[in-house]
Amino acid sequence: IVTTQSPATLSVSPGERATLSCRASQSVSSNLAWYQQKPGQAPRLVIFGASTRATGIPARFSGSGSGTEFTLTISSLQSEDFAVYFCQQYNNWPPTFGQGTKLEIK
C-alpha cells in the first residue's frame, strides 16, 4: 500500500491551525499512525488507530479519517510542534510510511 502525504511542506504561523493530509492507495480502515520527527531525533508516535493520541501527546493534536483519507490537525501551533510528520499504515503487510510533511514556521 502506498501512502501519499500532502503537502510536502506546510508553512504556518505559531498559534495558527495546521492540517496535514495522508492518503492511502487502498482502504486501510483505521489502521493508521502519525509520527513526529525533529532534526537529528528518532520519530515519536503521535497518533495511532487514526485518532487516538499516544501517551503524553497534547490535546491540540488530533487525528481523523478512515479508509483512504486521513488528517492530522494541530489546533494551535507551538514552537515545539515544527517538525516533519510521517503517516504509516498497518492494515496490510508490510507496514508502510508516507514521505512526510515538513511543518515549518511561517
Site residues (CB under 8 A) for another protein?
31, 33, 35, 41-45, 48, 54, 86, 88, 90-100
| Residue whose CB is less far from another protein, 26 or 73 | 26
Instruction: Between 36 and 77, name the residue whose CB sits nearer to another protein.
Output: 36
- Cell 506546510 locates to 10
8 A C-beta contact, residue 67 and residue 81: no
Separation of alpha carbons 31 and 39, rounded Å: 26
Task: Give me the least distance between CB of 74 and another protein, in Å please.
Answer: 19
For cell 515544527, what's the residue? 82
Q: Distance between CA atoms of 41 and 75, rounded to whole angstroms?
A: 23
CB of 83 to another protein, least distance (A): 14
CB of 37 to another protein, least distance (A): 9
